[in-house]
Structure 1
Amino acid sequence: MSDSTQTETVVSALFDTAIGLCAIAWHGAVVVRFQLPEASEEQTLARITRPFAGTAVPEGEPGPAITAAISGIRAHLAGALDPLRWIDLDLHGVPEFHRAVYAVTREIDPGRTLSYGDIAERLGAPGSAQAVGQALGRNPIPLIVPCHRVLAADHALHGFSAPGGIGTKARLLEIERTPGFGEPMLF
């Protein structure tokens, strides 16, 4: 993950995936935001550009690194599982604790999950599960920072700030063939 000071113009693009129209924002070869599908193209674009209010975020043509990221995201959402860790991120301006949470979260493989408490333990901050949840609720790059792979201690789906809420979280876990999601129940 890059932590360099952003000096280049942030550009965005919308692209189709197996789950709908997503959006990505970047500068240079580094992703700064990702957006899961909203109800409309306009809402998806508005959500990805919201943090840059007051400055125009033009739609642009991605270079090779962002084109590869888009291809990787499309393939992942179509079921060709990829942890997407190879995508370079710029988390400049994100609080240090949040960056630490995101680093641990990025290490969760598709088809696997951790609890908020597990992440807190891995950070050496037992008892901070709620703070972990707050950090993940502010994740600017969902899917690439796979906050959907983090569950409550009881393994239930509680809250998900991305569009579609816990339904989207369940769908992403199903795409990733996570045990207990999308499987037919025998009893």
Structure 2
Amino acid sequence: MTAPEHYALFPTPIGVCGISFRSGKITGLQLPEATAEATRQALLVRSPHATEAPPSGPVRRVIAQVGALLEGRAVDLSSAPLELQAPPFHRRVYERLMRVPPGQTITYGELAAELGSPGAARAVGQAMRRNPIPILIPCHRVTGRGGLGGFTAHGGTSTKERLLRLEAGT
């Protein structure tokens, strides 16, 4: 039997974020919506059976790290405990993307080519759109060939640009 999934909301400098977790592993992260309630509802779309609960030690550490990042401090999120449910291609995209250093970017096409699928830039874009754990799986670091590309979080490309600036320390 699978352990129950829980969630918590937490304040950050850019608004109220949400995090879902199971057995100390992160299953989802929701960037701020216009209101805390909208953030909760967006998180529950991806984790409909999650119940609100205080986060455990490992999850509290990730919350603190995300908060620090959103304050503009350098943090290493690479060891965050993740429980990733994703199709095989998306999983490969996410695993490669997690190796892109903070403050740096990679294009959809470059990411596809590095995975041995040079014509799959749109499939990489689909993986970014379906990313359940943004920031920890840093989809904001993936750009279009001629600009930022899209971003599905509230605020769109303005939020993406802000995250990149925070990571770059500017």
What TM-score does the superposition give when structure 1 sets the normalisation length? 0.87
Match of 1:115 among 74, 95, 107: 107
Match of 1:30 among 25, 29, 38: 25
Is residue 68 from structure 1 mapped to residue 61 from structure 2 by the alignment? yes
- Give distance in 2, aligned partners of 1:157 and 1:113: 10
Please tell me whether the aligned partners of residues 158 and 166 of structure 1 are also in contact (alpha carbons under 8 angstroms): yes
**Secondary structure of the structure 2 residue equivalent to 1:24:** strand
- Give distance in 2, aligned partners of 1:95 and 1:25: 19
Please tell me whether the aligned partners of residues 23 and 36 of structure 1 are also in contact (alpha carbons under 8 angstroms): yes
| CA displacement 1:107-147 (0-9 Å, x = unmatched) | 11111000011111111111111110111111011111000
Is residue 105 from structure 1 mapped to residue 97 from structure 2 by the alignment? yes
Please tell me whether the aligned partners of residues 6 and 52 of structure 2 are also in contact (alpha carbons under 8 angstroms): yes
- Which residue number in structure 1 is paired with residue 132 of structure 2? 140
| CA displacement 1:49-68 (0-9 Å, x = unmatched) | 11233x3x211111110011
Identical-pair percentage: 41
Which one-letter code corresponds to 1:96 in the other structure?
Answer: P
**Secondary structure of the structure 2 residue equivalent to 1:176:** helix
Please tell me whether the aligned partners of residues 83 and 109 of structure 1 are also in contact (alpha carbons under 8 angstroms): no
* Runs of 4+ in structure 1 over 2 Å off: none
| CA displacement 1:52-94 (0-9 Å, x = unmatched) | 33x3x211111110011111111111111224111011113x1
- Give distance in 2, aligned partners of 1:81 and 1:96: 30
* Count of aligned residue pairs for this structure pair: 170
What TM-score does the superposition give when structure 2 sets the normalisation length? 0.95
- Give distance in 2, aligned partners of 1:44 and 1:50: 10
Which one-letter code corresponds to 2:84 in the other structure?
Answer: L
C-alpha root-mean-square deviation of aligned residues, in Å?
Answer: 1.4
Match of 2:41 among 28, 43, 46: 46
